[in-house]
Amino acid sequence: MGSLKLTFLGTGTSLGVPIIGCPCEVCLSKDTKDKRLRTSAFIQTDKGVCLCIDSGPDFREQMLREGIEKIDAVLITHEHRDHVAGLDDVRAYNYIQQKPMPIYGNSLALKGLQKMFYYAFRKKLYPGSPEFELHKINPKKDKSFSIEGVEIIPIEVMHAQLPTLAYRIGKLAYVTDAKTIDSKEEEKLYGVNTLIVNALRKEEHFSHFSLSEALALVERVKPKVTYLTHLSHLMGPYASFEKTLPANVHLAYDGLQIEEEY
């Protein structure tokens, strides 16, 4: 039994918040909790293992903001650019750590990375190209996998028709870009103390949980505390909307740090 600290690197949607050119109340807000980079998280265990969940287009800014000097592996939820476009910047960690960066994801995500970052998979690399070490995860076959002694349970969720990976580490689970979850996969969430789950907006969306759908999942899983992430400007200002949520449910915000057991 150990402990881990999770830092919310980004909690916004694919456009981030504020959205370019948007004059709404949230996008014009001066509250730093309404400034949301693209969704990503950083986990550090008490043994010093450092894991990043996703690496979106704001990756470099997020790493510099949090002063992150080491990453042992990147866990990819899916191949959409708002979750992987920043992978080119792992070059800095390749140089510091003198080895390829281990990347974990399902087969679709890894194929997407090979297409998107084609220059990193050539037999003869251009000097300075990022170096990746790919690890394929099949949540229907792989009950768990381990990184530097940290056991991780992969969970398949559906982002409309796209299979996406959620991850459980001990008593914490991280679910983003989910619209539906098969009952057997949902069972893997039971028993967590902390649930992190996407909630795009109040209105229904074709590929993301709405607020009511996220809260329905909370009711079924019954974690001690839940943090909502992947939030759009349509959810409303942090200061006022946070007050409307159940006592054990909170809006996550960039830079928020939480601790949990694993």
* 173-202 pLDDT, tens digit each: 999 999 999 999 999 999 999 999 999 999
Parallel, antiparallel or unpaired: strands 132-136 and 249-251: unpaired
Q: Is there a domain that residue 223 lies in?
A: yes
Average pLDDT over residues 74-83: 98
Type of residue numbered 103: I
Mean pLDDT of all residues in the chain? Answer: 98
Q: Tens of pLDDT along 198-239?
A: 999 999 999 999 999 999 999 999 999 999 999 999 999 999
Q: Is there a domain that residue 143 lies in?
A: yes
Q: Give the helix ranges, DSSP H, for the chain.
A: 59-66, 81-84, 91-97, 107-116, 183-186, 211-221, 238-241
User: Which has the closest alpha carbon to 71: 156, 148, 15, 182?
Assistant: 148
| Residue 241: predicted pLDDT | 98
Environment class of residue 6 by beta-carbon count within 10 Å: exposed (0-12), middle (13-18) or buried (19+)?
Answer: buried
| Residue 1: predicted pLDDT | 81
**What is the pTM for the complete model shown?**
0.98
Q: Tens of pLDDT along 90-102?
A: 999 999 999 999 9
Q: Is there a domain that residue 262 lies in?
A: no
Residue 91 CA, chain-centre distance (Å), reads: 20
Q: Is there a domain that residue 259 lies in?
A: no
Q: Is there a domain that residue 257 lies in?
A: no
The CATH number of the domain where 161 resides is what? 3.60.15.10
Type of residue numbered 257: Q
* Spatial CB neighbours of 150, under 8 Å, sequence gap ≥ 6: 45, 47, 49, 51, 169, 262
| Residue 138: predicted pLDDT | 97
Q: Is there a domain that residue 261 lies in?
A: no
Q: Is there a domain that residue 86 lies in?
A: yes
Angstrom CA distances, 55 to 66, 90, 111, 212, 244, stand at 14, 9, 16, 28, 31
Q: Is there a domain that residue 258 lies in?
A: no
Structure tokens at 212: 């009511």
The total of structural domains in the chain comes to 1
The whole domain housing 187 covers 3-252
Distance between CA atoms of residues 40 and 140, nearest Å: 24
Q: At CA 118, angle to CA 115 and CA 122, rounded to 5?
A: 135
Q: Tens of pLDDT along 239-256?
A: 999 999 999 999 999 999
How is 247-261 classified by DSSP, letter by letter?
TTEEE--TT-EEEEE
Average pLDDT over residues 75-84: 98
Per-residue pLDDT for 17 more than 90? Answer: yes
Edge-to-edge strand order for the sheet containing 145-147?
A: 145-147, 150-159, 162-169, 172-175, 194-198, 225-229, 249-251
Average pLDDT over residues 145-161: 98
Other C-beta atoms within 10 Å of 20: how many? 7
Structure tokens at 123: 């037999």
Structure tokens at 164: 């996406």
- Residue 137 in contact with residue 154, Cβ under 8 Å? yes
